[in-house]
Amino acid sequence: MTEPLLSIRDLKVEFSTRNGRVTALDGIDLDLMPGETLGIVGESGCGKSITALATMGLIPDPPGRIAGGRILFDGEDITHADARRLRSLRGADISMIFQEPMTSLNPVFTAGDQIAEAIILHQQLGRAEANRKAVELLRTVGIPEPERRARSFPHELSGGMRQRVMIAMAISCRPRVLIADEPTTALDVTVQAQIFDLMRDIQKEFGVAIMLITHDMGAIAEMADRVAVMYAGRIVEKGSADAILDNPLHPYTRGLIDCIPVLGKAAGEQGRMPPLAEIPGVVPPLHLLGQGCAFADRCPLAFDRCRIETPILDGRSHGVACFATEMEAV
Amino acid sequence: MREGSLLDVRELSVRFAMQRQSLLGARPVLQAVRGVSFSLRPGRTLGLVGESGSGKTTTAMAAIRLTPAFSGSAMFDGVDLLSLDPEAMRQRRRHLQVIFQDPYSSLNPRERVGAIVREPLELMMPEMPKPARKERVRELFGLVGLRPDQMALFPHQFSGGQRQRVSIARAVATNPRLIVCDEPVSALDVAIQAQILNLLRRLQDDYGLSYLFISHDLGVVQFICDDVAVMYLGQIVEFADRPSLFSRPRHPYTAALLAAAPSLTRRKSAGYVREGMVRGDPPSPLSIPPGCAFASRCPRAQPKCREERPQLVHDASGSVACHYPNACDHRASLVGASSFCRNTSDGAGKSMHLRSVKWR
């Protein structure tokens, strides 16, 4: 069996806040295999982005800190790597694309300059050579007239083009891991589809492993090989994308799937669609997490034990952290 | 005016004069909405869908006179809103309300939410006695699923979903007949989205509300709308009732939107590859091409499409503006249907059956 490229073990991240110390990630275990796409799904505030930032060594300290666990990249422990090592990793081996391409691009430099900067930094190439490569990358990510667009400033580009520039920048040094944090949330569906197609093409061509963070189960279906479902800083279910989508075990996963108004379901039927399934309530604020399962208050299956003990993710390939599901299985 | 419609919009156009390029140059004109007509029946929901910049929001806002129209008419309850004098228009405002996309910027951060919901009552129903107003606000809070003790809180003390509930309470306060919902769930998490969509529909059932529902999410539109108008660069390119539009899209743009929308059955594991994808971005509304506006991105465009602008043609199953629309039972219409059952492109031998999702 191949070794995982990125391996997160029992990761714990804490933040000091006005309400005292809160645990944003509590014992996260994740493996990212070479060339695969791992989807991380959950609502806002579940710890998806913190997981990504921790991997990149980007947790702001203070107020945050990695309180336990390890992050291994290709066998090397990078949990507490120094700034210098992290700088050489970021961009070159692990790179990231963010949700809002407008705020993550520098408005006063041209698209070409920003891509060239990463190349000069990591590949010891001259300015002219880097610029030529930047144009090449813009062509790779499907930007028309790349020579002209390389001289454009971010505000002159559409949202979809900006995200393509971000992707060009992210893949400029042929990273082995690409972390995509809600890369299409700010985009139109047609553009989202183009970006997803591009990410799949890039994965096929360069064999990059992708960690895709999303709240959209549709994106999971289309993009992911394996999935981890997060809730309140823990992984509540993980498995292959098919297993999670066709046979979700955790009530939270079921809720996430059922509450989407799915396209195509009864498309041609007359009359009204039945009401959507709802997950009542909201994700609890971290400082109010008590003992027991964090989902218990919103869970239709919760019973006494759920409010006292915290369920542990079982180690099977399709694993779930839920007492009610355990009972069903017996 | 169409028989029995609550809002009947005819040939609505909106233009914006842009900044001069040079001192003596003419002001370029941006044609945001170009001759749009539609009608909304009472108690129904009409969806306006399209990409950013297609003119969905401008159309809706011009129809209720929140954006000045260049030409056209908007008959609401037998009166043209666009030619009413300002005071008469103000009187009608209580029947026309809006729910905005961003629950953060659409509520005054310095006002308590109770006062936010009470304000439309004070402005539009001044005859209502004060205690009755207070009672009404309390009732509205219950209606949208908030607790009366939350009335004294400020907007920042609520989550996005709860703020949207406050917006909804404010919109229904004056018992309006029409609510423009401008992407009301786009900024919310999926789980909260379902709560708000169900709430909107329950309110519609209970109070006979009509919605003009703007969204780019076709899943949401399919759930809540009775009729759908697809917009592209300021024009309606297809209009149909929900079942027809989603099972037999006729305009290639509608088909492309459906192909692009995420769905649980298009699996990476099954080797899903998208077909009929549109490329690039729409043309600029400052320089609209002479022919069909979609021709530059259309997978089926012919020379005629680039020269001659297609008109919206009406028939029994809806309207479509395309020189070469999909016939009602055309194979290409399955591009839309394939979002559900299976990919139809690769013949019998290697057709990939995507496993159907279990619905609990």
Judged by phi (left if over 0) then psi (alpha if -120 to 50, else beta), residue B30 lies in beta
pLDDT tens over chain A, length 330 residues: 678 999 999 999 999 988 888 899 999 999 999 999 999 999 888 899 899 999 998 888 888 899 999 999 998 999 888 888 988 888 889 999 988 777 888 999 999 999 998 899 888 888 999 999 999 899 888 888 889 999 999 988 888 888 889 899 988 888 999 999 988 887 788 888 888 988 998 899 889 999 999 988 888 999 999 999 999 999 999 999 999 999 999 999 999 998 888 776 555 566 778 888 888 888 888 888 878 899 998 999 999 999 999 999 888 889 999 998 877 766
Asked if B195's CB is within 8 angstroms of A278's CB, the reply is yes
Q: Which residue of B has its CA nearest to A242?
A: B269
Q: Pairing state of beta strands A76-77 and A64-73? A: antiparallel
Residue A182 and residue A99: Cα distance in Å, rounded? 5
Residue B339 in this model has a pLDDT that exceeds 70: no
Q: Peptide bond before A62: cis, by omega within 30 degrees of 0?
A: yes
Facing residue for B51 by CB, picked from A190, A221, A246: A190
> Residue B278: its chain A contacts at CB < 8 A?
190
Task: Calculate the average pLDDT of chain B.
Answer: 85
> How far apart are the CA of B131 and the nearest CA of chain A, in angstroms?
31
- Output the 3-class SS for B29-98: EEEEEEEEEEEECCCCEEEEECCCCCCHHHHHHHHCCCCCCCEEEEEECCEEHHHCCHHHHHHHHHHEEE
Residue B283 in this model has a pLDDT that exceeds 60: yes
Mutate to test the interface with A, among B183, B230, B263, B297 (most CBs of A within 10 A): B263
> Residue B216: its chain A contacts at CB < 8 A?
188-189
Asked if A269's CB is within 8 angstroms of B268's CB, the reply is no
* Between B104 and A241, the higher pLDDT residue: A241
- Output the 3-class SS for chain B: CCCCCCEEEEEEEEEEECCCCCCCCCCCEEEEEEEEEEEECCCCEEEEECCCCCCHHHHHHHHCCCCCCCEEEEEECCEEHHHCCHHHHHHHHHHEEEECCCCCCCCCCCCCHHHHHHHHHHHHCCCCCHHHHHHHHHHHHHHCCCCHHHHHCCHHHCCHHHHHHHHHHHHHCCCCCEEEEECCCCCCCHHHHHHHHHHHHHHHHHHCCEEEEEECCHHHHHHHCCEEEEEECCEEEEEEEHHHHHHCCCCHHHHHHHHHCCCCCCCCCCCCCCCCCCCCCCCCCCCCCCCCCCCCCCCCCCHHHHHCCCCCEEECCEEECCCCCCCCCCHHHHHHHCCCCECCCCCCCCCCECCCCCCC
> Residue A193: its chain B contacts at CB < 8 A?
259-261, 274, 277
Q: What local confidence, expressed as pLDDT, does residue B337 receive? A: 38
> How far apart are the CA of B66 and the nearest CA of chain A, in angstroms?
25
Q: What local confidence, expressed as pLDDT, does residue B271 receive? A: 81
Q: Which residue of B has its CA nearest to A45?
A: B189
Confidence band for B23, pLDDT divided at 50, 70 and 90: confident
> Residue B357: its chain A contacts at CB < 8 A?
245-246, 257, 262
Confidence band for B303, pLDDT divided at 50, 70 and 90: very high
Query: Is-contact A24 A50, C-beta < 8 A?
Result: yes
Residue B180 in this model has a pLDDT that exceeds 90: yes
Polymer length in residues for chain B: 360
Facing residue for A194 by CB, picked from B162, B265, B277: B277
Q: What local confidence, expressed as pLDDT, does residue B299 receive? A: 84
pLDDT in tens, B119-147: 999 999 999 999 999 999 999 999 999 99
Residue A188 and residue A195: Cα distance in Å, rounded? 10
> How far apart are the CA of A35 and the nearest CA of chain B, in angstroms?
13
> Residue A183: its chain B contacts at CB < 8 A?
none
Q: What local confidence, expressed as pLDDT, does residue B331 receive? A: 40
Q: What local confidence, expressed as pLDDT, does residue B334 receive? A: 40
As a whole number, mean pLDDT of residues B96-103 equals 91
Facing residue for B198 by CB, picked from A37, A218, A275: A275
Asked if B261's CB is within 8 angstroms of A263's CB, the reply is yes
Facing residue for B192 by CB, picked from A194, A272, A282: A282
Residue B155 and residue B271: Cα distance in Å, rounded? 46
Asked if A215's CB is within 8 angstroms of B189's CB, the reply is yes
Q: What local confidence, expressed as pLDDT, does residue B287 receive? A: 85
> How far apart are the CA of B59 and the nearest CA of chain A, in angstroms?
19
Residue B216 and residue B239: Cα distance in Å, rounded? 15
pLDDT in tens, B239-256: 999 999 998 899 999 998
The whole-angstrom distance between residue A247's C-alpha and the CA centroid of its chain comes to 22
> Residue A277: its chain B contacts at CB < 8 A?
194
> How far apart are the CA of A83 and the nearest CA of chain B, in angstroms?
35
